[in-house]
Amino acid sequence: MFVDKATIRIKAGNGGDGAVSFHREKYVAAGGPDGGDGGQGGNVVFVVDDGMSSLIDFRYKRKFCAENGENGSSKRCTGRSAEDLVIKVPRGTLIRDNETGRIMADMSDDLPHILAHGGRGGKGNQHFATSTRQIPRFAKPGFPGESFEISMELKLLADVGLVGFPNVGKSTLISVVSAAKPKIANYHFTTLTPVLGVVRLDDERSFVMADIPGLIEGASEGVGLGHEFLRHVERCRLIVHVLDVSGCEGRDPIDDFEKINLELANFSEQLAVCPQIVAANKSDMADESQITRLKNYIEDKGFPFFTISAATTSGTKELMDAVGEKLSTLPPVKVYEAQPVSQEEWIRKVSNRQEFDVEVEDGVYYVDAVWIEPILRTVNMEDYSSLQYFQRVLRSSGVIDKLLEMGIQEGDTVNIYGFEFDFIN
* DSSP one-letter string for 126-194: GGG--SS--S--B-PPPPPPPEEEEEEEE----SEEEE-STTSSHHHHHHHHSS------SSTT---S-
Q: Is residue 199 located within the same domain as residue 256?
A: yes
Single residue among 92, 125, 155 that ends a domain in this structure: 155
Q: Is 38:24 a contact under the CB 8 Å cutoff?
A: no
Residue 87 per-residue DSSP state: E
CB atoms within 10 A of CB 360: 13
Same domain for 7 and 116?
A: yes
Q: Are 364 and 357 contacting, i.e. CB atoms less than 8 angstroms apart?
A: no
Q: How far is CA 328 from CA 296, 322, 324, 331, in A?
A: 26, 10, 6, 8
Distance CA 42, CA 84 (A): 4
Number of domains in the chain: 3
Who's near 39: CB < 8 A, 6+ residues apart?
Answer: 15, 16, 69, 70, 71, 72, 78, 79, 80, 81, 82, 121
Residue 335 lies in a domain: no
Residue 128 located in a structural domain: yes
Reported pTM: 0.71
Whole-Å CA distances, 337 to 90, 269, 277, 330 = 18, 18, 28, 19
Which among 136, 14, 7, 139 has a CA at the least distance from the CA of 73?
139
Report the DSSP beta bridge partners of residue 150: 8, 97
| Together in a domain, 222 and 306 | yes
CATH code at 282?
3.40.50.300
**Closest of 141, 142, 126 to residue 22, by C-alpha:** 126
Residue 333 is assigned to a structural domain of this protein: no
- The Cα–Cα gap between 101 and 194 comes to 25
Alpha-carbon 425 to chain mean position: 48
Nearest to 281 by CA among 173, 162, 180, 192: 173
- 258 assigned to some structural domain: yes
Asked whether residue 378 falls in the same domain as residue 270, the answer is no
Q: Are residues 308 and 355 in the same domain?
A: no
Last residue of a domain, one of 327, 358, 379: 327
Residue 164, CA atoms < 13 Å, CB-side half-sphere:
30
On whether both 123 and 216 belong to a single domain, the answer is no
Please report the pLDDT score of residue 350 as a whole number.
Answer: 55
User: So what's the pLDDT on residue 113?
Assistant: 95
DSSP state of 232: G
**Helix crossing, 316-327 with 170-177: angle to 10°?**
80
Burial class (CB in 10 A: 0-12, 13-18, 19+), 334: middle
What size, in residues, is the chain?
425
126 and 191 part of one domain: no
Residues 140, 179, single domain; the answer is no
Residue 301: inside a domain: yes
CB-neighbour burial class of residue 328 (10 A; exposed 0-12, middle 13-18, buried 19+): exposed
Percentage of the chain modeled with pLDDT above 90: 35
State the CATH number of the domain containing residue 68: 2.70.210.12
Same structural domain, 223 and 302: yes
Give the residue among 312, 334, 181, 319 at the shortest CA–CA distance from 240.
Answer: 319
Distance separating alpha carbons of residues 391 and 378, to the nearest angstrom = 14
Q: Among 117, 134, 155, where does a domain finish?
A: 155
> Domain residues for 228?
160-327
Question: How far is the C-alpha of 328 from the C-alpha of 78, rounded, in Å?
Answer: 56
- pLDDT confidence of residue 86: 97
Mean pLDDT by 10 residues, the chain (425 residues): 83 93 80 90 95 86 95 92 95 91 91 93 87 80 90 87 86 86 51 75 86 61 54 84 89 91 84 91 91 94 94 93 93 84 64 76 85 76 76 86 88 85 81
- DSSP assignment, residue 328? T
Instruction: Specify whether 315 is located in the same domain as 366.
Output: no
User: CATH code at 417?
Assistant: 3.30.300.350
pLDDT at residue 187 in the model:
41
Amino acid identity for residue 226 in this structure: G
- Give yes or no: residues 141 and 183 share one domain: no
Whether residue 219 lies inside any domain: the answer is yes
Identify whether 332 is part of a domain: no
Q: Is 224 part of any domain?
A: yes
Residues 14 and 148 in one domain: yes
